[in-house]
Structure 1
């Protein structure tokens, strides 16, 4: 069958969709043709409504970026994240500044060096007045990327910060790794009575 054969292009074109999920989607569309019409409508809407912001690399909806084109946002702080999904989380938070999406993190095991990220575009956006808030993943790659950015940016701005780390809500101390526990203790807050 063509789904299992050479023509299985769905899994190669869309990140996050493996072979089994692609087969289920295709079988569902074969069985229920009305879903194809709905899917075509959704895809057309995506194609005609959304594109990528050339400044921060977030989504533009009808040529408006939720970050760059919102005049109510603080333009003196730029939150640096790895992916658009991370940026959506930041957008849904109480953060009120700008964003910059790197489209990944430095990962030498996967041949992703600084030149493959949107770093030069970031450095063009910063000056002495801008604070960089590094909100990269708390992984080895995220730490490497954060350190790289901090070292390069320290000659441009003195205002470089990192999101707080520690124990997540609902976390049980017995199951927490030592580094987050150390961060939670170091970043403790005084209780107000």
Structure 2
């Protein structure tokens, strides 16, 4: 049982306590165990990683790369597949590139450990790069690295807008976010 718990703990967001609860629930409820087993097999046979953008392929079709209605002249760069899923659910209609992380020198994650070289192979004069990386120190470092390396190669390099979120109250917004919101204001 300890081996099973240790394996479950390797999943993102699963603590030891959660893993124990899952194991006990599956032991007690065979129907849930059968259903989970079926879903795991479905994941294994249905999904894989796209060799081009590193998002998921479902039945060997990538929602970005294999969709002929998407604008091939813009590539949105994100850190994770979950970020790419959020972009897919938005009104964005271009391509995607998943880096599988961000530069983090404290954790010995340099550009060579990310899908950077694969990104730069995709960039040419007709391409706009839209950097949609996290607004963290690591995200800023990664964005700056890509922007500096892509200058002169990409047609245009842009960054997603930053500012006050919907439902945000100015009184609770930090000064940098407020400054970005004012700087990136839109005409009404």
**What TM-score comes out, normalization by structure 1 length?**
0.94
- Give the alignment of 1:116-135 within 5 angstroms: 116-135=113-132
Q: Report the CA distance between 1:11 and its aligned residue.
A: 3.8
Q: What is residue 68 of structure 2 aligned with on the other side?
A: 71
TM-aligned CA distance change 1:46 to 1:7, over 3 Å = closer
1:49 has 2:34 as partner: no
Q: Report the CA distance between 1:14 and its aligned residue.
A: 1.6
Q: What is residue 146 of structure 1 aligned with on the other side?
A: 143
Secondary structure (helix, strand or coil) at the match of 2:140 reads helix
CA distance in 2 between partners of 1:84 and 1:7 (Å)? 26
The RMSD of aligned alpha carbons is 1.1
Q: What is residue 184 of structure 1 aligned with on the other side?
A: 181
**Which ranges of structure 2 fall in alignment gaps of 5 or more residues?**
none
Q: Does structure 1 retain, via aligned residues, the 8 Å contact 2:48–2:58?
A: yes
Q: Does structure 1 retain, via aligned residues, the 8 Å contact 2:124–2:155?
A: no
Secondary structure (helix, strand or coil) at the match of 1:9 reads helix
Q: What is residue 161 of structure 2 aligned with on the other side?
A: 164
Would you identify which runs of 4 or more consecutive aligned residues in structure 1 move more than 3 Å? none
Secondary structure (helix, strand or coil) at the match of 2:145 reads helix
Q: What is residue 28 of structure 2 aligned with on the other side?
A: 31
Q: Report the CA distance between 1:7 and its aligned residue.
A: 6.0
**What TM-score comes out, normalization by structure 2 length?**
0.97
Q: Report the CA distance between 1:12 and its aligned residue.
A: 4.3
TM-aligned CA distance change 1:7 to 1:96, over 3 Å = closer
Q: What is residue 78 of structure 2 aligned with on the other side?
A: 81
Using the TM superposition, name which of 11-20 and 158-167 deviates more: 11-20
CA distance in 2 between partners of 1:172 and 1:54 (Å)? 42
The alignment of Structure 1 onto Structure 2 pairs a total of residues equal to 188
